[in-house]
Structure 1
Amino acid sequence: MPVDIPSQVKDPELLRARRAQIVDAAVTLFSEKGFHKTTTRELARASGLSIGALYEYVQSKEDVLYLVCQHIHQEVESALRHTLSEHASAAVRLQSAIEGFLSVMDDMQDDVLLIYQESKSLPGPFLHEVLAHEQRITAVFEHLLQEGVKDGSFGLVPTDLPVLAHTIVVSGQMWAFRRWALKEVSFGTFAKAQVEMLMKAACTTSGRGLE
């Protein structure tokens, strides 16, 4: 369950709208300046709020960072699940999910990098929930791998599944946190190589399940 952040505002629609403003401003500021160098005053101003008003919706800058991480993970998970289909073999669904995930990583590379750089600043309960959300995203791929083992698309043993699922997620995130070393590589080239390597790692037999 997400950690509940107390607020003085009782109107849920107003709370949602104002926190969305705060998150949008925080993503930009934290990406540009970093979490620690961003002041509460800057957050309030960029959100279109006074400092007093800001504290009606959150209690600390750490609250804001947690909301940012949750927002980014929700966007990633929503986009990933949008790529899933129940009307194809597990191999086709896995490849589609990997391609979709890589595309999301390209679109949200600054956001993903922000989580990796700044989530260490979160208090324990917040960090625990952020990591749990990361695990839920990874579980999407583990489930697809399990389905592929069931329908014969993949030649994997049970202990392979969580390792490969995490490998898929980290391989996609690499576009965000290793882009400094891949600046001469186009996203299309990166994505094609990753899909081929990851599908090969799943031991998809030649053509089987991908037709």
Structure 2
Amino acid sequence: MNKKREIQSSVKDESLIEKRRAQMIRGAVTLFKQKGFHRTTTREIAKAAGFSIGTLYEYIRTKEDVLYLVCDSIYDEVHARLESLDIEKGSLEVLVTALEHYYGLIDDMQDEFVVMYQESKSLPKDALQYVLKKELEMVALFERLLTECRESGELKMTPKEIKLAAHHLFVQGQMWAFRRWALRDFTISEFIQTQTNFLLQGMAGEKISTQGAK
């Protein structure tokens, strides 16, 4: 896992830093989605977070720091949702469960995903490289799961096909965040089940039921 980019803070209490930055993230996501990163001021972020601009600068140094925290929080949540899965003993059942966890997270963090992809270009170069590497780590998790399925005989795919399929699995779930306005006829459960069937049907050559997978 890549070492986190250090965000300077004059506060030493780690639990308080985590609490205040979580408040910043929630306030900033709403503002960034409504107004965009560049049109949002740090004073507005502080107000949305529920404290003064002076307090804000005790926990971050720049507006870009807040955007970085938004992006990093997404990948922390992805990792937390998937780390309980036994990816070393990958199977189609584990893969389906991983997709459910990941797509469910996208449902929970729709605004954060939209902000990340719309505004991450505004990050400083080192922060952007960190965020991109974190994304590749998440894709690599799906790649390992698919490789385990191939080695167990459940999937017949070449290494190159697996690499592309891993990116496909990762990106297709994000459709729920970007195209939610056009998918109002679907519940998140229906989206997960239908999308998973579509994806695995193409990889396994047959429809695989996801009913009851948790």
TM category (shorter chain) comes to 0.7 to 0.9
Cα distance in 2 for partners of 1:204, 1:161 equals 14
The match for 2:52 is 50
Q: Structure 1, residues 10-49: CA drift from partner, whole Å, max 9, x if none?
A: 3323322222222222222223332222211111122232
Counterpart residue type for residue 181 of structure 1:
A
Cα distance in 2 for partners of 1:114, 1:168 equals 20
TM-score by length of 2: 0.86
Which sections of structure 1, spanning at least 5 residues, go unmatched?
Answer: none
Q: Which sits farther off after the overlay, 164-173 or 20-29?
A: 20-29
Counterpart residue type for residue 200 of structure 1:
Q
Q: Structure 1, residues 115-164: CA drift from partner, whole Å, max 9, x if none?
A: 11111111111111111111121111111001011111110011111100
Q: Which sits farther off after the overlay, 36-45 or 16-25?
A: 16-25
Report the 3-state secondary structure (helix = DSSP H, G, I; strand = E; otherwise coil) of the residue aligned with 2:11. Answer: coil
What does 1:97-112 align with in structure 2 at a 5 Å threshold? 97-112=98-113
Does the Cα contact within 8 Å between 1:155 and 1:204 map onto a contact in 2?
no
1:140 aligns with 2:141: yes
Cα distance in 2 for partners of 1:102, 1:191 equals 7
Report the 3-state secondary structure (helix = DSSP H, G, I; strand = E; otherwise coil) of the residue aligned with 2:166. Answer: helix
Does the Cα contact within 8 Å between 2:89 and 2:148 map onto a contact in 1?
no
Cα distance in 2 for partners of 1:56, 1:13 equals 14
Counterpart residue type for residue 74 of structure 2:
I
Which sections of structure 2, spanning at least 5 residues, go unmatched?
Answer: none
Q: Structure 1, residues 150-185: CA drift from partner, whole Å, max 9, x if none?
A: 111110011111100000011100111122333344
Cα 1:193–1:62 shift into 2, 3 Å: same
Cα distance in 1 for partners of 2:173, 2:70 equals 20
Percent identity between the two aligned chains: 45
The match for 1:90 is 91
TM-score by length of 1: 0.88
The match for 2:38 is 36
Counterpart residue type for residue 154 of structure 2:
S
